[in-house]
Amino acid sequence: MKAEREKYIVKTLKGLEQVVKLELQERGINKCRVTNRAIEFHATKEQMYACNYHFRSAISILKPMFSFTAKDENELYDKVKELEWEKIFGLDKTFAISHSVSSDIFTHSQYISLKTKDAIVDRFRDKFNDRPNVDPKDPDIKLNLFIRGEKCQILLDSSGDPLFKRGYRKETNEAPLNEVLAAGLLSLSGWDKNSPLIDPMCGSGTIAIEAGMMLCNIPAGYYRTSFGFFNWEDFDIDLWKKVINEAKEKIDIDKGISISGSDLAMRSVRMAQSNLRNTPELNRVIRFKVEDALEFSSREQNGTILINPPYGERIYKDEVNVLYERFGNYLKENYKGFNLGVLTSNQEAMDLIDLEKTESFELMNGSIDCNFQMFKV
């Protein structure tokens, strides 16, 4: 019997929509609709499991469960209470509701979220004389309430914790690069996984570790211990085992490609090395060392250099400008033939890198608008 396909929405970061679209195609999902920071698609349960396990540039995967209209809080409560929540999760599971409300009718979004919670709890209490608990910090079930005008939608978060929580990064510096963004940079850079990858401003090592996982075909969720769909009533443990076993068969750690990271700060390198120890498969693939970005050394003759340098928020503007300019000159003298990718919000400093510009992408690093610029050295 052909597996049923259901609708899902994958959330991502600004500028990574096309990267996620390619990831969907790799999972055999070719029909999708790209919107702002999201992609709508239909998939089987097995594909949904695999998307959560494999996707590198997705934040979360949501499943639209219920859609209805409501003209006031009481109608909202009644319609939510009518829904068969017991088919989605059990009494032993905790839940929480996040909300996005834009409506002239529902003007107090927090109150609306509480009314929705009350309706779900009362549904269980009426049927079973018992109720599930609410846990806003670490719920088993994450629900998203989305209201525009009278139109209401409730979505179920299949990912649980955001997918950038890979499970390997225990230590970070002041401004850590999101794992999803790091993976997105690697994809946008055009790195072919057949040539070396160097990050000479590595911080806590995220770019290098994400590159190592990509190189060795280690799924993005390989080091995670749970996903949201584990707690759904219809969770199929055998299907999940099939997904992870098929993925494990494709892992290859003997590629012979060099990935390296360096940083002038000993503290950052120690963090990177600590995070690397949480990915034991990559211990022979990636090397971190203490080294000045203006003096970093490599025996490689070609490859890709990716950096997320200081933007200027934490050190003086003139120092940042000098750093960018000197870094570009150093590459020109020592790394001819390499590709360079720079993520920054500081366009003035970026323009001081005297190298041939190729592709450029508008992205966001947290709340900061950034430009990811590729250069040919």
Helix (H, G, I), strand (E, B) or coil at 316: coil
Do residues 205 and 298 both lie within one domain? yes
Mean pLDDT of 228-248: 98
- Read off the CATH number of the domain in which 336 is found: 3.40.50.150
Residue 151: domain span = 6-157
The pTM score is 0.95
Confidence tier at 315 by pLDDT (50, 70, 90): low
Confidence tier at 313 by pLDDT (50, 70, 90): low
Count of domains for the chain: 2
Question: Has residue 268 got a pLDDT over 90?
Answer: yes
Q: Report, in this order, helix, strand and coil percent for the chain, each rounded to 5.
A: 35, 25, 40
Backbone angles phi, psi at 277, to 5 degrees: -65, -20
Question: Has residue 257 got a pLDDT over 70?
Answer: yes
The pLDDT assigned to 314 comes to 60
Do residues 203 and 352 both lie within one domain? yes
Please answer whether residues 369 and 345 qualify as being in contact, where contact means their C-beta atoms are separated by less than 8 angstroms.
yes
User: What does the mean pLDDT of the chain come to?
Assistant: 95
Do residues 185 and 144 both lie within one domain? no
Do residues 204 and 311 both lie within one domain? yes
The pLDDT assigned to 223 comes to 97
Do residues 23 and 136 both lie within one domain? yes
Do residues 191 and 306 both lie within one domain? yes
Strands 304-307 and 197-199: parallel
